[in-house]
Chains A and B, each alone.
Chain A
């Protein structure tokens, strides 16, 4: 939009503006800097309070819950994670946990039993031999960590959705909860549990899952961040109650879908 300028006869608008500018800026400039400094000071002095207060934590938690719902809506059960070729596999595949590699739980494959509970018809525990007898398939997918890095790995195992049907799980339930040998846990939504690439994993890169990657069984979900993929799983429960999880209870977003 062009500026409207009234010309005043006998007055040079340029000189007039110059005069006006000479008179105006100083007080207005001072007022400005004072105002700006004031806003800055308020932010600096109270900034920590704003950020650390419980009110801010509550608001962030509320937004995280809102993001859970948005992500559940964005999740298309028929969308598959891209798969890769053998040559794309990241070697060595990074070890990542909240403990050092030497502290990874040692599970005895002979005495191992997978406990199946909650809203299922068949609650008998499963031996490793029985689990290995399930039909298996391999996936080469990208593992994305909540920290930002990613790595491509090869995982072989049984579809969780097949297993849930086999044990007569109520797939109208909202959640599946997993418990790990050393106390780690996570809860996932049923649509992700039934996703075609959600896998009860027994092998990594065609070898029996090593201790560092979750022997004897991990749950591989390429549609979720790494921390939602539990290792050393000893129990799974089908439930309508969100039982949370190790990292979820420490502030990470619950859904954490990709």
Chain B
């Protein structure tokens, strides 16, 4: 091991700029609050096609009024933070640089590699095709969950939006499926972050 090795590892370029890290952790908090309180609200009237309930131990609020209060408070945090994140992501060119292009063949190859436990994750600054697809997908799910949520909250004042989702009852299903997609993403995201701790470090200190 030569002496030059140390300065080299220290001159690493920042992987996640500060605005990404701040919006990421605010979003993490907002998501936990929104999902926990959303499950509480869901349990008050489970969707007719599903007929299952979330255990109260994993819901937030304790009762429906409190669950709703959390949901309609945390939604401002989620929306304001989301607007900053998507706005800066588009304006800075980060989305374009990190998430595109997504090529079908690369996705297949990377999925196959991931299933064999051999998906490369050496350079945290460069996303593989599966990552690109997942990150883009969860951003889109975030947009859908906010819009479907608005259409359930204001089905008269925003009736054009509710109609876009196929009416009030359909919008509830869309909202539920968008939540499911985000929760599935979260499970994979957290597992991978724990398997590759340097990725977690990068999201905290940037390198």
Contact = CB atoms under 8 A, between A and B. Distances in A.
- Whether chain B is bound by chain A comes out as yes
Interface of A: 1, 3-4, 6, 8, 11, 13, 16, 19-20, 23-25, 28-29, 32-33, 36, 51-52, 59-61, 63-64, 67, 74-76, 79-82, 142, 144-150, 222-223, 247, 250-253, 257-258
Interface string B70-93: 101100100000000000000000
B2 interface: yes
Interface centre among B9, B68, B156 (most CB of A within 10 A): B156
B97 A1 contact: yes
A155 B202 CA distance: 60
A150 B169 contact: yes
B197 interface: yes
Contact of B8 (A1, A16, A145): A16
Chain B, interface residues (CB within 8 Å), range = 35 or more
Interface stretch (B40-48, B108-116, B134-142, B179-187): B40-48
B103 interface: no
A36 B2 contact: no
Nearest to B125: A3
Given A6-B8, A258-B154, A147 B69 contact: no
Contacts of A223: 156
Contacts of B168: 142, 144, 150
Given A23-B1, A74-B154, A257-B157, A59 B45 contact: no
A253 B69 contact: yes
Contact of B69 (A4, A13, A60, A145): A60
B45 A82 contact: no
Contacts of A250: 65
A63 B13 contact: no
Interface string B156-184: 11010000000011001000000000000
Contact of B64 (A25, A146, A150): A146
Contacts of B20: none
A247 to B, nearest CB: 8
B72 A19 contact: no
25 contacts: A3-B13, A11-B4, A16-B2, A16-B4, A16-B8, A20-B1, A20-B8, A28-B197, A28-B201, A32-B197, A32-B200, A32-B201, A61-B69, A74-B154, A79-B159, A80-B156, A142-B155, A142-B168, A146-B64, A148-B42, A150-B169, A251-B69, A252-B65, A252-B68, A258-B156
Contacts of A1: 13, 97
A60 B2 CA distance: 58
Contacts of A20: 1, 5, 8-9
A221 to B, nearest CB: 10
A25 B9 CA distance: 12
B68 A63 contact: no
9 nearest A-B pairs in the assembled complex, by CB-CB distance: A251-B65, A63-B73, A147-B45, A147-B44, A148-B45, A60-B69, A149-B45, A258-B156, A32-B197
B34 interface: no
Contacts of A33: 197
A146 B64 CA distance: 9
B26 to A, nearest CB: 15
Nearest to A28: B201
B51 interface: no
Interface in B37-69: 41-42, 44-45, 60-66, 68-69
B200 A36 contact: yes
Nearest to B1: A19
B192 to A, nearest CB: 14
A144 B125 CA distance: 47
A12 to B, nearest CB: 11
A82 B155 CA distance: 9
A88 to B, nearest CB: 11
A19 B157 contact: no
B70 A257 contact: no
Contacts of B41: 148
A58 B4 CA distance: 57
